[in-house]
Amino acid sequence: MAVMKVAPRASIIEAGTLAGAVQAASGATGLRLILLDLKMPGAVGYSGIALLHAEQPDVPILVVSSADGAKAAEEAQALGAVGFLSKDSDLPAIEAAIARALGGHRLPPAPPRPEDAVQKEIASLTPTQLKVLLEVLNGKLNKQIAHDLMVTEATVKAHMTAIMRKLDVQNRTQAALVARSLGLDLNH
């Protein structure tokens, strides 16, 4: 819908797999834009961008994907994509991105999301801090965690203090909520 609104006379070539997309791109003339899903069948990571860019180096590639985060957008653009849109973008945003790409412009990188900073902090937790946080997610008290990890309760409290500082939260409930919102909860 977005392509037809921006370029009503466009011919659209669709492919359901990366191999199909590469085959279509290799034989196509007059391509003006490639819309690519990073997670299409046959794609591994950013392989779709690299392969399609190799086939059609002068055709802009606009990634429309459910992959999250500014990092995915940066990596897609580093490999040759002119832009990156989340699949949950609204129709006017998709239309604007397509128009910019067809006009020969790169899209600005996606702004970092607050979750990206928190994910980095989760990644910076020590193995023991991560074990403590996972036990908190399981609803265990400090005394139970200390027993399970064979450390003192004071050690668990010290780890919780460090975890709360890194996650910028005030208590263990908030720490658990942040961790769960980022998908760290193993009990889904």
Q: What is the pLDDT of residues 112-125, one digit of tens each?
A: 666 666 667 777 78
Are 68 and 40 members of one domain?
A: yes
Sorted by sequence, the CB contacts under 8 Å of residue 75 that are 6+ apart come out as: 46
pLDDT at 109: 66
Contact 182, 69 (CB under 8 A): no
Sorted by sequence, the CB contacts under 8 Å of residue 188 that are 6+ apart come out as: none
Domain end residue (candidates: 40, 71, 102)? 102
Is there a domain that residue 108 lies in?
no
Which domain range does residue 68 map to? 2-102
Q: Which residue has the tokens 């998709």?
A: 94
Whether the predicted model's global pTM rises above the 0.85 cut: no
86 pLDDT above the threshold of 80: yes
For the chain, give me the number of helices (H) and strands (E)? Answer: 10, 3
Is there a domain that residue 59 lies in?
yes
Between 129 and 44, the higher pLDDT residue: 129
Beta bridge partners of 34: 61
157 pLDDT above the threshold of 90: yes
Are 97 and 163 members of one domain?
A: no
Total domains present in the chain: 2
Q: Where are any strands of DSSP class E within the chain?
A: 34-36, 61-65, 83-86
Are 93 and 123 members of one domain?
A: no
